[in-house]
Every structure is written in structure tokens, then in C-alpha cells.
């Protein structure tokens, strides 16, 4: 008799610019997965519910100030403090949806104006990625791509620190760079046009999820690392 084993869950990151519809799509997706008999849970980053998350929240709402490097490391620490729970959830067979992950972490910091210093630049993509090395790597990164034009048609920004047009434009370019040629995780990205209706986008997101699940099924059961 063979020992029954639970196949691991998939780690699915949802990324995109502000107003691309990430949170709406994550909620729909969670319902669809669960009603399809696929156990799934949602983990949002930053996770503002932890002690580190509280510090991040006061930074984002401009209640406190921190230098660019410190806040960057706190965003990363906020993922590390969830690492064990992410891994045990996956091992128990539950799929995890990540509403933002290390990719937002990299581009939002790298988009900040840099002080003129000698290389290595402390806000380069390479520097920004370093503290996340070793975290669980998503099986697929679903990127909700929205044009500047479509984003502008949607409800306006809130008043958090990064919700400004110039910042968003830099973030857009850096996401492109991250997804592009030369990126060693190029194959992990699943880019969809998020300019359509909620239902249209949800269908495309679902295709990405099925691809993520397929990759897990064909893999060796191990969770890869960043």
C-alpha cells in the first residue's frame, strides 16, 4: 500500500501597479479556488497586523519617517516573519495567494530618488532584492498590467506615501525591467491585461492560476527559494 500524501499548495503572487485591481481579483480568486475544492488562503504584504507591520503602516501613512534603507529592510522582515507559516501552509496542501510580494518590495524602493553616491548604489535593484534572498519563491507571478491611461480612468489615489503619479511611473518602468530579458525569473511571470472588466480580468487571472497549479503538479514537490 502506498502512503497517501498531500500534494503541496501553490504559491501564487499577484502583482501590479496601484489601481490595477489586485485586491479585487485576489478576493474573487480566493472564492473561486475554494468553491472549486482547492483549499486556498490570502496573505497580503505588507502585513500590517504584526508589530513590524504597524511600523510600516505608520510610515506609509506618513505618521513616522524612516530612511529609505531601514523601511526597505522592514518590508523584507515583514515577509521573513511570515516565512514559516507560508511554508507550513503550503506543505499542508493549501494554496496561498500573495497580494503583493518581494517584487513590489524591490520596485517601490528602487523607484525612490537616489542620493549621488559611489556604486554600489544602496537603492539598486540588486541591493533591494538582497534581503529577500531565501524567501519562498512563487510558482507563478500574475502581473496585472494596466496602462497609465486606464489607471487614470479608475478612482483616484488615496493619500498614502507612494500614491503619486511620478512614483507610479517609475514603478511601472521598474516592473518592466524586472520582468524583462535578463531577469533570471522571467519564466515565472504571467502578464495579463488588467484594463478589461472585473469579470474579463478574473478569467485571465484564472488561466494564470491553472498554470501555477500545473507547475506545482509537475514539480518535485519542493518550494523553490528566491
Binding segment (CB under 6 A) for ligand 2DT, from list 31-39, 80-88, 102-110, 120-128: 102-110
Q: Binding of ligand 2DT at residue 190 (CB under 6 A)? A: no
Q: Which is it for strands 140-145 and 11-16: parallel, antiparallel or unpaired?
A: parallel
Q: Binding of ligand 2DT at residue 55 (CB under 6 A)? A: no
- As measured in angstroms, the least distance from the Cβ of 100 to ligand 2DT is 4
Q: Binding of ligand 2DT at residue 208 (CB under 6 A)? A: no
- As measured in angstroms, the least distance from the Cβ of 192 to ligand 2DT is 18
Among 80, 127, 157, 162, contact with ligand 2DT (rule: CB under 6 A): 162
Cβ proximity to ligand 2DT, 100 vs 129, nearer residue: 100
The sheet carrying 140-145 orders its strands as 40-44, 95-99, 11-16, 140-145, 189-193
d(Cα 207, Cα 212) in Å, to the nearest integer? 9
Contact 204, 7 (CB under 8 A): no
Cβ proximity to ligand 2DT, 95 vs 104, nearer residue: 104
Q: Binding of ligand 2DT at residue 46 (CB under 6 A)? A: yes
Q: Binding of ligand 2DT at residue 75 (CB under 6 A)? A: yes
d(Cα 208, Cα 194) in Å, to the nearest integer? 13
Beta bridge partners of 141: 13, 189
Residue 48's Cβ-side half-sphere holds a number of Cα atoms within 13 Å equal to 7
Q: Binding of ligand 2DT at residue 21 (CB under 6 A)? A: no
Q: Would you say how long the chain is, in residues? A: 226
Binding segment (CB under 6 A) for ligand 2DT, from list 104-112, 175-183, 201-209, 215-223: 104-112
Among 25, 43, 104, 145, contact with ligand 2DT (rule: CB under 6 A): 104
Q: Binding of ligand 2DT at residue 108 (CB under 6 A)? A: yes
Q: Binding of ligand 2DT at residue 82 (CB under 6 A)? A: no
Summary count for the chain: helices (H), strands (E): 9, 5
Could you give the residue ranges of the DSSP H alpha helices within the chain? 22-35, 51-60, 68-80, 83-91, 102-110, 125-129, 148-153, 165-179, 198-218
Interface with ligand 2DT by CB under 6 A: which residues?
45-46, 60, 75, 100, 104-105, 108, 162
Amino acid at each position: 500500500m502506498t502512503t497517501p500524501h498531500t500534494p503541496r499548495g501553490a504559491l501564487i503572487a499577484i502583482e501590479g501597479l496601484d489601481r490595477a485591481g489586485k485586491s479585487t481579483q485576489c478576493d474573487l480568486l480566493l472564492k473561486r479556488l475554494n468553491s472549486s475544492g482547492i483549499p486556498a488562503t490570502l496573505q497580503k504584504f505588507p502585513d500590517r497586523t504584526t508589530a513590524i507591520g504597524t511600523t510600516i503602516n505608520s510610515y506609509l501613512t506618513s505618521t513616522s519617517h524612516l530612511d529609505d534603507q531601514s523601511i526597505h529592510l522592514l518590508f523584507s522582515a515583514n515577509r521573513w516573519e511570515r516565512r514559516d507559516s507560508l511554508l507550513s501552509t503550503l506543505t499542508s496542501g493549501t494554496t496561498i495567494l500573495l497580494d503583493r510580494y518581494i517584487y513590489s518590495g524591490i520596485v517601490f524602493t528602487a523607484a525612490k530618488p537616489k542620493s549621488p553616491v559611489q556604486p554600489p548604489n544602496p537603492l539598486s535593484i540588486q541591493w533591494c532584492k538582497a534581503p529577500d534572498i531565501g524567501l519562498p519563491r512563487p510558482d507563478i507571478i500574475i502581473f496585472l498590467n494596466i496602462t497609465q491611461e486606464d489607471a487614470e480612468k479608475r478612482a483616484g489615489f488615496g493619500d498614502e506615501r507612494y500614491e503619486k503619479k511620478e512614483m507610479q511611473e517609475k514603478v511601472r518602468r521598474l516592473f518592466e525591467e524586472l520582468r524583462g530579458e535578463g531577469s533570471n525569473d522571467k519564466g515565472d511571470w504571467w502578464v495579463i491585461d488588467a484594463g478589461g472588466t472585473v469579470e474579463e480580468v478574473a478569467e485571465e487571472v484564472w488561466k494564470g492560476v491553472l498554470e501555477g497549479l500545473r507547475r506545482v503538479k509537475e514539480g518535485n514537490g519542493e518550494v523553490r527559494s528566491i
